[in-house]
Structure 1
Amino acid sequence: MNSQISTPRAGALRHALGNRQMSMIAIGGVIGAGLFVGSGSAIGMAGPAVLVAYAAIGLLVVLVMRMLAEMAVAAPGSGSFATYATREFGPWAGLSIGWLYAYQWMVTIGFEAIAGASIVHRLLPPIPTWLAALVMLASLIAVNFGRVESFGTFEFWFAMIKVAAIVAFLLVGLAAILGLFPGFAAPGLSNLTGQGGFAPEGWGPVAMASLAVFFSYFGTEVVTIAAGEAKDPANAVRRGINSVVWRILLFYIGSIFVIVMLLPWSSTEVAASPYVAVLNELHIPGAAVFMNLVVLTAVLSCLNSGIYSSSRMIHAMALRGETPKAFTRVNRHGVPTAAVILGSAGGLATIVANYFVPSDSVYQFLLNSSGSVAVVVYFGITLTQLRFRTRVDRSDPGSLRVKMWGHPYLSVLVLVALLVVTAGMLVSADTRLSLALTLLVTAIAVAAGILTQVTRRRGAPAEEEPMEQLDGQAI
């Protein structure tokens, strides 16, 4: 594909995102609000051994993204793994995983809107949470109604702010660990190995903490969704996903290492807000306000990505005939407006509910209803890659530009690890309800997918799109 911005055909998206924007979209997908806030509860459960949980789950995510890169570089498109599932298993699979993924983002949009509104309310108490959430969501819907470059530009700067904040945190933290920060005595290894040792509560809590860690990584796949509107999709996907390794090492494991080195793991301040706790310990003024603004940026980035990802998934499914044709239509900027509206519906419904129901109730409802769709999506990616690689190795060996490491052994290892994560959710009382809701939603999605496929075959088989077309960049 050349580097020129293409004019969309009817129903087609514009290829307008540059490599710089794609790189930042990939980075923004890795750094979410879960890193800044959710890491505190994981540290409280596992102690310093939470580093093992972050490393292990990080490795799992890296392997899943490598599998996705293998398929995405071969056939980049906004439908990403849902398109590949359709090709390898049939429309029922693409429809199921596509709707599950869109549903996950719809719920996440509402969840993040409430979280962001709570931050705004803390900083500016006169502003009610429902109004703050409505303004944020409406603003980002407007951004997504414009050219895709608008989404890319906003995501670029959101990611830049998050990266700058974490890099500054790491530099300050490293200076404190080495005893180079003024007025702070380096604690050495006392926090890492003291208070009961490296795994003070044993390794069982480390496994439970891994469940929380798992969901904080979700979002790394957004760059493959955006590939459908990139100027150079194959190279952008390859570069973006290949760099996931160092991002996880630097942003997640690096910052968690700083926290557990500088503060006791059992500190209540760490559990509440680990980054603020470190900055307060170093007597840096305005730490709470600064981190609240950074977390708010992460929330806005998540809202922006959520609206974009859900709408593009819905649009891609419509192009394959798996959702109503109305969602194929794009405006003069090449934006699927009907899909953007549907993709934002979950957030809008949440704000309406938040007007009548206390925020904590809405927050808890969203946590439970979102379930564990990420696990199902990763299952789908892994099974699809195994089928895809077998087919390609048989029909066109040596054609892949990016290959999964250690295939098929590491791919099978990922399946086993995902089964372990699922078993852990079944054992834990805190996640059992989420797992049950996810299985229910998945069963509904699969049933709808099978029914749609059967109906299409009986009704008009001659109009069904040939599978070979899904290998190209039409989507």
Structure 2
Amino acid sequence: MSSIDTTTLCPEKKGLKRDMKSRHLMMISVGGTIGTGLFLGSGQTINQAGPLGAILAYLVGGIIMYMVLLCLAELTVAMPVSGSFQSYASRFISPGAGFTTGWLYWINWAICIAADFTAAGIIMHSWFPQVEIWIWCAIFAVALALLNLVSVKTYGEAEFWFAGIKVAAIVGFIIAGAGLMFGFTGHEGSIGFSNFNIGGDIFPNGFSAVFLTMIAVVYSFQGAELVGIAAGECENPGKNVPRVIRGITARIIIFYVLAISILAGTIPWQEAGVLESPFAQVFGRIGIPIAKDIMSFVVLTSALSAGNSALYACSRLLWSMSKEGLAPSWLSKLNSNGVPFNGVIITLVLACLSLLTQSFAASTVYLWLMSSTGLTGCLIWIIIAWCQINFRKEFRRLGGKIQDLSFKTPLYPFVPLLAIVLNLGVIVSLYFDEAQRIVIYTGIPVLAAIYLYYVLFLKTKLNTAPSNQINH
């Protein structure tokens, strides 16, 4: 072992309980990544990029995700703290970067919770039209609050089963779709790979269309970094985190690429974008009479799973930031089960306010809020890779030997630098898609406003405060 105790570089903030098992950690990250984007939005990617272009886009997106997770693994194994990349940003970039990272990520996920509640409420309303959508949203808000407030173990168990339903649906779809392609199921005979034969051009709408779909593809992989936040409450993180990160990367890429391959093989690319749920269409073609209801149930659990993970991540980020003096001190309050009570409640308050703007100002305020969060995922991934580079520099400066690290990001510094460049490329590509350009126009001002608030109101205070007031 190294003579340097890496945990002293970014000390753990005491209070949370390490009650989460590796299977919980695995499913939290899988569940955070596999969402409604795959079940509802994948058809649009195939329609724009063509069958082979869509598969290529998801492969590249998966590789970008893997590089970021390799960087995160080194950091979390060396310093397993709740708050994860927010704490690392404060320590290895600057407190201002940590403040901006944490609040931007919190706003992003809190608004996404509102969207998840709405998606779940619409599905329940279609089954029980006599009950208004807002009532379902309120029921789900209370249910997820209770799951998060009881204990981290209860949250992990609930997320394990939520994510398990999604994984089972994808595996079932892959098997059923493969049967449809090769004539084992349905009554259409063998389709084979005929839908991949699109003439001489591999990319029917040009390679630029594939490049532009990378925006949606990379967004769909975001959420995998939740494993870093959860590592602070995981049993034996040094052993479990690397194993989980390797496992989730393989599973996510296999699930996505196989599912997209089956979709592209069973649905002509020209028709894929106009289907409400391409998954339901494929299930229906093999003779399952309630295919639409099955997929509605899967999307329902997918939305609740995403909301559950987001509420967990938000409450831990607020708790972590309050310990660093980057958020009000009352957000560090834990209940008797070691859960950040106030963080859960204030996150649900923002989510409900977002629901109000969705109902009364959908074309202005809510659109602006949703668009402004579009940059967050790529920015967080850049921050993670940047922190890993700076951690290595600091570790060496203090006399540490790289071979003594329990987990080492391979091909350093190539992996973190390439991760930064590719994520910057995705952000730049937003400008070239007219439908996504609003993300640049709204996201950058929000980012600047958060950092400006830190400079004007917190920087001087933190610089003059005794260290025991900030990290307590």
Q: TM-score, normalised by structure 1?
A: 0.91
- Alpha-carbon distance in structure 2 between the residues aligned to 1:244 and 1:20: 11
Report the CA distance shift for 1:46/1:147 in structure 2 as closer, same or farther (over 3 A): same
Q: Which secondary structure state, in structure 2, belongs to the residue aligned with residue 266 of structure 1?
A: helix
**1:355 offset after TM fit, Å?**
5.2
Report how far residue 144 of structure 1 moved: 1.1
- Alignment partner, residue 155 of structure 1: 159
CA contact (8 A) 2:20 2:156 kept: yes
Residue 12 (structure 1) aligned with residue 15 (structure 2): yes
Mapped contact 2:354–2:366 kept (Cα < 8 A): no
CA drift of 1:104 comes to 0.9
Deviation at 1:198, TM superposition (A): 3.3
Q: Which amino acid letter does the alignment assign opposite residue 162 of structure 1?
A: K
1:51 aligns with 2:26: no
Deviation of 1:194 (Å):
2.5
TM-score scaled by length of structure 2 = 0.91
Distance apart, 1:90 and its partner CA: 2.5
Answer with 368-377 or 67-76: which moved more. Answer: 368-377
Offset at residue 362 of structure 1 (A): 7.8
Q: Is residue 2:41 matched to residue 1:41?
A: no
- 1:21 counterpart (14, 20, 24): 24
Cα 1:210–1:458 shift into 2, 3 Å: closer
Q: How many residues are paired up?
A: 458
Question: Which residue of structure 2 aligns with residue 96 of structure 1?
Answer: 100
Match of 2:144 in 1: 140
Task: Kindly report which structure 2 residues correspond to 1:231-380, keeping only aligned pairs within 5 A, or say none.
Answer: 231-267=235-271, 271-354=275-358, 356=360, 364-380=367-383
In 2, distance between residues paired with 1:18 and 1:123? 35
Alpha-carbon distance between aligned partners in 1 of 2:467 and 2:157, rounded to the nearest angstrom: 42
**Separation (CA, whole Å) in 2 of partners of 1:128 and 1:369:** 29
Counterpart CA distance in 1 for 2:404 and 2:452 is 35
- The CA deviation string for residues 300-323 of structure 1, in whole angstroms up to 9 with x for no partner, is 001100111001001011111211
Residue matched to 1:180: 184
Which whole-Å CA distance do the structure 2 matches of 1:445 and 1:464 have between them? 22
* Aligned residue in 2 for 1:469: none
Partner residue in 2 for 1:387? 390
SS of equivalent residue, structure 2 residue 269: coil
Q: Which whole-Å CA distance do the structure 2 matches of 1:235 and 1:441 have between them?
A: 38
Q: Residue 412 of structure 2 aligns to a residue in which SS?
A: coil
> What are structure 1's unaligned runs of at least 5 residues?
1-8, 467-473
> d(CA) in 2 for partners of 1:271 and 1:212?
17
Find runs of 4+ consecutive structure 1 residues off by over 6 angstroms. 360-363
1:5 corresponds to = none
The answer for the alignment partner of 2:210 in structure 1 is 206
Which residue of structure 2 aligns with residue 190 of structure 1?
194
In the alignment, which residue of structure 2 is the partner of 1:428? 433
One-letter identity of the residue aligned with 1:22: L
Distance 1:457 1:27 in 2: 37
The one-letter code sitting in structure 2 at the alignment partner of 1:34 is G
Q: Percent identity?
A: 33
Q: 1:284 to 1:335 in 2, by over 3 A?
A: same
Shift of 1:196: 6.8
Q: Which runs of 5+ in 2 are unaligned?
A: 1-11
Which amino acid counterpart does residue 394 of structure 2 have in structure 1?
R
Q: Is residue 106–residue 310 contact of structure 1 (8 Å, CA) maintained in 2? A: yes
Distance 1:269 1:46 in 2: 11
C-alpha distance in 2 between matches for 1:10 and 1:229: 11
Q: Does the Cα contact within 8 Å between 1:57 and 1:213 map onto a contact in 2?
A: yes
Selected match of 1:406 from 394, 405, 411: 411
| C-alpha displacement of 1:31 | 1.3
The Cα RMSD (Å) is 2.2
The 1:50–1:355 alpha-carbon spacing in structure 2 relative to 1, beyond 3 Å, is closer
